[in-house]
Amino acid sequence: MSNFDIKNESLAEGGRRRIDWAAREMPVLSQIKERFLKEKPLKGLRMSACLHVTAETANLMRTLQAGGADVVLVASNPLSTQDDVAASLVLHEEIPVHAIKGEDNATYYKHIEAALAHKPQITMDDGADLVSTIHKSHRELLPDILGGTEETTTGVIRLRAMAADKMLMFPVIAVNDAM
């Protein structure tokens, strides 16, 4: 796999240990992953995620992949990126990751563009940068997008403002409001 941008591939083994440890602390997600391995409910869906690149998020990405989704992950916050986790996802799970701890603003937006080049049908956002970038400069993606999720209060505020102005062109679930 050549479509990724991470700090250092040699960090992957430490990332695998961190991801596996987190999986043991996430039993419900592990059960969903086992079910997804059998049922493949997300088969054929392209998903782009702009989230904190942590061991917990890595387990979510592995679960979505087990469900058949074609996933790409970019960092929503360069300061929280765990470089070893990013390396493990790329090397061990073959999930394209574009995230480097401490990346500058230009690199951050280059990574957002990489997530959108994936032509997502579903977005997963933590701050609404994917959704707002789609609406500002990648409107050609809109017809194929089924919906998205947003994990932060800040992102929800941005999206609600877009919806109030009749500018939000696809449904987005506010994760913290979901039952």
Which pLDDT score is estimated for 179? Answer: 76
pLDDT in tens, 16-60: 999 999 999 999 999 999 999 999 999 999 999 999 999 999 999
Report DSSP state, residue 177: G
Question: What average pLDDT does this structure show over 130-148?
Answer: 98
Please report the sign of the dihedral spanned by the C-alpha atoms of residue 130, residue 40, residue 29, residue 55.
negative
* 70: its two tokens: 């074609």
Phi, psi of 67 (to 5 degrees): -80, 0
Q: What is the mean pLDDT of residues 143-156?
A: 97
* pLDDT score recorded for residue 132: 97
pLDDT for 1: 59
- Using a pLDDT cut of 70, give the percent of the chain over it: 99
Residue 178 has pLDDT above 90, yes or no: no
Residue 2 pLDDT: 74
Compute the mean pLDDT over every residue in the chain, rounded to the nearest whole number: 97
Residue 32, Cα to own-chain centre: how many angstroms? Answer: 18
Whose tokens are 């409001």? That residue is: 177
pLDDT of amino acid 8: 97
- The tally of CA atoms less than 13 A away on the side-chain side of residue 115 is 29
Sheet holding 122-125, edge to edge: 97-98, 70-75, 46-51, 122-125, 147-150, 172-174
- Tell me what pLDDT residue 139 has: 98
